[in-house]
Chains A and B, each alone.
Chain A
Amino acid sequence: MLRPALLAAALAVASPAHADDADLAALRAEVKAMKADYETRIQALEARLAKAEASAATQPPSPPQDTASAAPSNPGAFNPEISVILQGGYAHLKDIPERRITGFLPNGRPPGSTRGFSADDSELVLASNVDPYFRGYFNATLNDGTVGVEEAWFQTLALGRGLTLKGGRFRSGIGYQNEQHPHAWDFATNNLMYEALFGEGYGNDGLQLRWVAPTDLFTELGAEIGRGANFPGTDRNTNGVGSYALYGHVGGDVGDSHSWRGGVSYLSTRAEARSGTLADFAGTDVNAAFTGDSTTWLADFVWKWAPRGNSTIHNFKFAAEAFRREESGSLDCTGGMCGARLGAYRATQYGGYAQGVYQFMPRWRAGYRYDLLDPGSRDYGVNDAYLPRPGYKPSRHSLMVDYSPSEFSRWRLQYTKDRASQGQDENQWYVQYIFSLGTHGAHSF
């Protein structure tokens, strides 16, 4: 700033051609004086700057401008987290038109997988914090011609005191596997216990209140009320509460390498004319509609091991669950030998599964699962004369190997020896892929 001004001034003064020598000498002296003056000033400034720099070095540095926070306002930045799960594969199965689990009332949904190639269910997930108080989550399965809303809920963020309230349509917190969607399962197929109990998993439209205790030992208690429209209940077109569930989990670590969680859950619901197909003594299909109360107890236990808590190279996971379900009411049997007869129905049934999955080298895991159901005691009342009550215990052995090139992709090969249905001893093969696109968030324990 100073020097150009100085030059301009000097030029302006020097430009008149007829300035005399005395004037010029005076000007030169003046310019020289100014130059000296400015140089001393600049030296003083430089000294001060050096001093400031030296003292700044001994001071703690101040946080720099965060460039991320200075990002331009982008309306897209508030878009929800979007992820898509692509899941499909190939299944080699026997041609069985209607798969049943012997000794258990069917859940009304056609179970089993498609033979050959299929692109199963792809999932679309949208999630976001709504505001400082709530989080929203939406999960839909997309199939040819159908869209199923698996979950659509809000959850509180700022209730505090260990409390979280969830409302809408959600997977119940009972058991262990129940909250997991199929892409998070360790096997290509569901376990027999959940198939018999719920079809896939128990979901509900309602409210859930969770409380985590302020203790070193992880302790959570949950209570849910809901519509109760899903199997084992039915939609009954009523006001009030159609089902309720209670659960408690405890968990913790043992050293750096082991962690565990166990719990007990209880589900109570009611069914009205819940229809399904059974075979009578003549082998003819009859329609059996159950009306009554259904209560289920579940126990679950998960144990995970990783050397020093570092699961990247080797890790092992063990999970087991068991249930006891009691249903009592009436069974309306129509068709076949029954004709049309309303009888009592009372059943207490059991079952469970246990599985182990071992990561034997980075990216590769192998697992084994054993499923077993016990039809327990069944009383069909007057229909005992027409409906068989086989003591057959459905079971399944599954072996799988999976390979995950990254945490967003997985390939799986599975062999299952299926004995879910009496008289059938089936070898099943599955090849499965699971890809997750987008911001696929964290998975629970």
Chain B
Amino acid sequence: MKAFRLFAFLIAAWPVFAHAALNVFACEPEWGALATELGGDAVKVYTATTAFQDPHHIEARPSLIAQMRRADLAVCTGAELEIGWLPVLLRQAGNAAIQPGQPGYLEAAQQVALLEKPAVLDRAQGDIHAAGNPHIQTDPRNIARVAQALGARLAEIDPGHAAAYRARLADFNTRWNAAMARWQARAAPLRGMPVAVQHEGFPYLENWLGLKQVAVLEPKPGVAPSVGHLAEIAAHLKTAPAKAVIRAAYQDPRPSEWLAAHAGIPAVVMPFTVGGSERAKDLFGLFDDSVDQLLKVAR
């Protein structure tokens, strides 16, 4: 009975804070940045991961459960990218509003057409995603599509600020379309540029800019390459040369540095998401920097 009283006291004594702003739980930095663009002061955004963390492998940490508990809206990539940790957060948070199927749960990957849907589902193929490649944020046209859905969803679950969300979305669309025109014009020399990638993380970027992927360092998605495998790729690049080997900021630098040294091509670290480089402070900076990083090696 003593123990019961102790627990009752703890429950009563714990400070419970009330927040007026809409709490948004963003699984990845790009969706956190987008929620900030579209929500402004009306939302309080918590971003669960950083650009230096591998979104496939995140611990279902207590701090994430605590944030998910208070979220009014969860924005995640989906397409099984977060399958190793998001289900635990959703089940342990005890929050009915952000369960899949509720208005408070938004999957970005559902808003766009996914590339690289595997024909055969077999773990022998490595860490593949049944729904397709989930790294959709490297194409700004996908960001634009997700923005429409997110703007509409914010207005739906927070009708008091609906007019403000719609105005911010319209403003974002104008700025984003102008920026896309600018990036596309600047990136014209990148069309047809051959690149090697460390992880199959860039099909959407390649599709947008017309890059030609000639090699992947990982023998299977999610499987780190051995030196022998890298040597084979270096040999392969002799016949099909690449301008650069690119990787995301969170990835182990060693495989691409090794290849860069042995194949005599530059290794490029792409920000991959918001926060991945000094310039990638927001979504606009992300693509400014991504295009510039590639232009540097295009010449």
Contact = CB atoms under 8 A, between A and B. Distances in A.
Interface in A49-64: 58, 60-64
Given A406-B222, A443-B88, A218 B94 contact: no
Nearest to A135: B91
Interface in B109-166: 110-114, 117, 123, 126-127, 131-132, 141, 144-145, 147-149
A214 interface: yes
Contacts of A132: 99, 101
A228 B62 CA distance: 29
Interface in A138-192: 155, 157-164
Contacts of B240: none
B66 A212 contact: yes
A110 to B, nearest CB: 33
A34 to B, nearest CB: 43
Interface in A61-86: 61-69
Interface stretch (B4-12, B190-198, B283-291): B4-12
A363 B54 CA distance: 15
Nearest to B23: A214
Contacts of A64: 112-113, 145
Contact of A68 (B94, B97, B131): B131
Interface stretch (A305-313, A327-335, A395-403): A305-313
Given A63-B145, A157-B91, A213-B14, A445 B62 contact: yes
Interface stretch (B79-87, B230-238, B257-265): B79-87
Contacts, number: 170
Contacts of A66: 110, 113
A287 interface: no
Contact of A249 (B14, B62, B111): B62
For B16, B58, B92, the residue with the greatest tally of chain A CB atoms inside 10 Å of its CB is B92
Interface in B69-85: 69-70, 83-85
Contacts of A157: 91, 96, 99
A169 to B, nearest CB: 18
Interface stretch (A93-101, A251-259, A274-282, A385-393): A251-259
B112 to A, nearest CB: 7
Contacts of B86: 442
B67 to A, nearest CB: 8
Given A61-B141, A135-B91, A310-B54, A444 B60 contact: yes
B213 interface: no
Interface residues of B, number: 65
A214 B11 CA distance: 11
A246 B3 contact: yes
Interface string A340-356: 00000000000000000
A211 B95 CA distance: 10
Nearest to B144: A60
A155 B222 CA distance: 32
Contacts of A251: 61-63, 66
B177 A60 contact: yes
Given A216-B67, A309-B49, 14 more contacts: A61-B144, A67-B113, A157-B99, A162-B93, A162-B94, A212-B94, A213-B14, A213-B16, A246-B7, A259-B61, A309-B50, A312-B57, A407-B127, A445-B62
Interface of A: 58, 60-69, 132, 135, 155, 157-164, 210-221, 223, 246, 248-253, 256, 259-261, 266, 268, 304, 306, 308-313, 362-363, 406-408, 441-445
Interface of B: 3-4, 7, 10-11, 14-17, 49-50, 52-54, 57-63, 65-67, 69-70, 83-88, 91-97, 99, 101, 110-114, 117, 123, 126-127, 131-132, 141, 144-145, 147-149, 173, 177, 222-224, 250, 252
